[in-house]
Chain A
Amino acid sequence: MDRIPILRMGHFLLVTIQVDLYDRLALNLEADLVQMVSKTSAQGVLIDISAVSIVDSFMGRIIGNIASMCKIMDAHTVVVGMQPAVAITLIELGLPLKGVYTALDVQKGMNLLTSMIGSQGEDEDEEEDDFDS
């Protein structure tokens, strides 16, 4: 059966979605990712959707699910590389992807993840972290 590969990079898991996801594939990814987070005790998950041209409510729900599941597994999720047309469509569809962290590209996403994990260890003396710096 087809699967989306999940790469491990230090404390993070990296997923690049290069094909149009059909439902089965998306559900597999959801299950695989949560398994991998548990197996590797990863602290962050980076999902690159720069090659995805269509995100409908089902895919949006999967992304939301992945973020929520990883969260209760103590891992942060960042979605990167969303195409402008996809963003426009998602908002008009009525799916603002609440609770999902996003970044413009993989590099920025990595920085975001690193800073989120970094700020976890310290005392929460700052309310807002400046993720872009």
Chain B
Amino acid sequence: MQVEKDQDVVPFRNRVKEFAVKIKMGLVNQTKLITAASELVRNMLKYANGGEIEIEIISRGRDNGVKLTFKDKGPGILDIKLAMQDGYSTGKSLGLGLPGAKRLVSEFDIKSILGQGTTITVIKWANG
């Protein structure tokens, strides 16, 4: 799913919700996943003018989960460790997006190459 402007955020969140409902994720976990997704998509719009997001359902044993892959071709992140710290932001925001999103999901992976872009993968298990 392609995301390019502010108005794409709400439809994207609704898509994530559909997937979460499909695997019978609980309401709290759904809310956490969608909020994390919302933070990440916002980062993507703000720093990289949008990008591409893949939503898929994965399973591990008897547990199902939603996996989101955010790919952008933005400027990349200079210091990932620093970007993952609470309260650090190069923009004018609160600096909660990345660390906050990480706390809300089960698994979080970030790869960034300066000048080429950033890929963030998150997984939220239905029961985790």
Answer whether residue A61 sits at the interface, using C-beta atoms and an 8 A cutoff: yes
Q: Is B106 an interface residue (CB 8 A)?
A: no
A80 to B34: give the CA distance in the assembly, Å. 21
Near A by CB (< 8 A), chain B positions 52-82 give: none
How many Å from the CB of A60 to the closest CB on chain B? Answer: 8
The reply on A92 being an interface residue by CB < 8 A is yes
The verdict on A94 contacting B99 (CB below 8 Å), with A53-B31, A57-B94 known, is yes
Which one of A4-12, A29-37, A82-90, A120-128 is at the B interface?
A82-90
Q: Classify chain B: how many residues form its interface, as a range.
A: 20 to 34
Determine the main DSSP class of B at the interface with A. helix
Please tell me if the beta carbons of A94 and B86 are within 8 angstroms of each other in the complex. yes
Within 8 Å CB of B14, what residues of A? 20
Interface residues of B in 78-103 (CB under 8 A from A): 86, 93-94, 96-97, 99-101, 103
How many residues of A are counted as interface, with CB atoms below 8 angstroms from the partner's CB atoms?
A: 22
- Pick the residue among B6, B9, B96 that contacts A93 (CB under 8 A): B96
Judging by beta carbons under 8 Å apart, are B27 and A95 in contact? no
Contact with B along A90-130 (1 / 0, CB 8 A): 00111100000000000000000000000000000000000
Cβ–Cβ < 8 Å partners of A60 in chain B:
94
Task: Please state if B93 and A58 are interface contacts (CB–CB under 8 Å).
Answer: yes
If over half of A's interface residues share one DSSP class (helix, strand or loop), that class is named, otherwise mixed; here it is helix
Q: How far is the CA of A56 from the CA of B6 in the complex (A)?
A: 14
Residues of B within 8 A of A (CB): 6-7, 9-10, 13-14, 27-28, 30-32, 34-35, 38-39, 42, 86, 93-94, 96-97, 99-101, 103-104
Ranked 8 nearest A-B pairs via Cβ: A93-B100, A85-B31, A56-B38, A57-B96, A23-B6, A85-B28, A89-B35, A20-B10
